[in-house]
């Protein structure tokens, strides 16, 4: 695409034989990701990392004059989150802005930079669910494709049949399938915050 936008790139804007020019931009910004993501705002650190400590299992019966069975909490998996910035630059030549954009009352096109970032955020969030059977996937980007890693603290994909518990067991948050479909009801355990983390760092550069 041309950058900056010149008069020759959108000659219709200065064509006096064309009476109406309509802006066919993005719809109003949406925040659909908040319906299925855990959103955390106000993060000012480049890296954030969390872990956990389990509680105790069921208590046991104590026979008369017997010792109480002891147990210890279990440390959970570690997960590190890294801030990523996204943006897009919208530029025009001065003649294009004066004789094309302003003349046609299209100044609101500058809002498209913010919408482009909001749309990107929605796509990035949805991609994590679309690829939830994988540990990595390729993101197509105008700045160059890159590989996104979406493993949880146990280094497995969000939807996996071999999730391990923090104590080493293998029956935590595993997928339930009949060979055709996968039941999502049992999936929201160890990976919830790992995948449903905040993308509030998406920033428009206009």
**Does residue 190 fall inside a structural domain?**
yes
Instruction: Compute the radius of gyration of the chain from its Cα atoms.
Output: 25
Report the pLDDT value the prediction gives residue 196, as an integer from 0 to 100: 42
**Does residue 115 fall inside a structural domain?**
yes
**Does residue 61 fall inside a structural domain?**
no
Neighbours of 153 (CB within 10 A): 19
**Does residue 8 fall inside a structural domain?**
no
The domain containing residue 131 runs over which residues? Answer: 30-50+75-93+111-195
Report the pLDDT value the prediction gives residue 188, as an integer from 0 to 100: 47
User: How many independent structural domains does the chain possess?
Assistant: 1
Report the pLDDT value the prediction gives residue 64, as an integer from 0 to 100: 95
The CB-side HSE value for 21 (13 A sphere, CA atoms) comes to: 19
**Does residue 66 fall inside a structural domain?**
no
**Does residue 70 fall inside a structural domain?**
no
**Does residue 4 fall inside a structural domain?**
no
> In the chain, helix, strand, coil percent, each to 5?
25, 10, 65
pTM (predicted TM-score): 0.72
Nearest to 158 by CA among 119, 180, 125, 118: 125
Report the pLDDT value the prediction gives residue 57, as an integer from 0 to 100: 84
Report the pLDDT value the prediction gives residue 189, as an integer from 0 to 100: 43
- H or E segment to which residue 182 belongs: strand 182-183
Per-residue pLDDT of the chain (206 residues; tens, 9 = 90+): 678 888 998 999 999 899 988 888 887 888 888 888 888 888 899 999 999 998 888 999 999 999 999 999 999 999 999 998 999 998 999 999 999 999 999 998 999 999 999 999 999 999 998 998 899 999 998 999 999 999 988 888 888 878 888 887 766 666 666 667 666 554 444 344 444 443 444 444 43
**Does residue 204 fall inside a structural domain?**
no
Helices (H), the chain: 94-95, 112-130, 192-195
């Amino acid at each position: 695409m041309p950058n900056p936008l010149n008069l020759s790139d959108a000659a219709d804007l200065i064509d006096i034989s064309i009476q109406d020019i309509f802006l066919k931009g993005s719809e109003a910004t949406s925040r659909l990701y908040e319906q299925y993501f855990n959103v955390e705002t106000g993060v000012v650190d480049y890296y954030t990392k969390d872990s956990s400590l389990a509680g105790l299992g069921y208590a046991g019966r104590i026979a008369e004059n017997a010792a109480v069975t002891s147990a210890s909490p279990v440390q959970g998996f570690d997960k590190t989150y890294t801030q990523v910035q996204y943006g897009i630059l919208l530029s025009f030549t001065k003649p294009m802005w004066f004789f094309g954009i302003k003349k046609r009352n299209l100044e609101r096109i500058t809002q498209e930079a913010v919408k482009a970032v909001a749309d990107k955020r929605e796509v990035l969030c949805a991609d994590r669910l679309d690829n939830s059977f994988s540990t990595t996937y390729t993101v197509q980007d105008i700045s160059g494709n890159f590989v996104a890693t979406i493993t949880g603290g146990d280094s497995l994909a969000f939807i996996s049949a071999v999730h391990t518990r923090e104590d080493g067991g293998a029956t935590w948050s595993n997928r339930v399938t009949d060979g055709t479909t996968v039941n999502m009801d049992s999936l929201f355990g160890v990976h919830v915050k790992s995948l449903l983390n905040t993308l509030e760092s998406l920033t428009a550069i206009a």
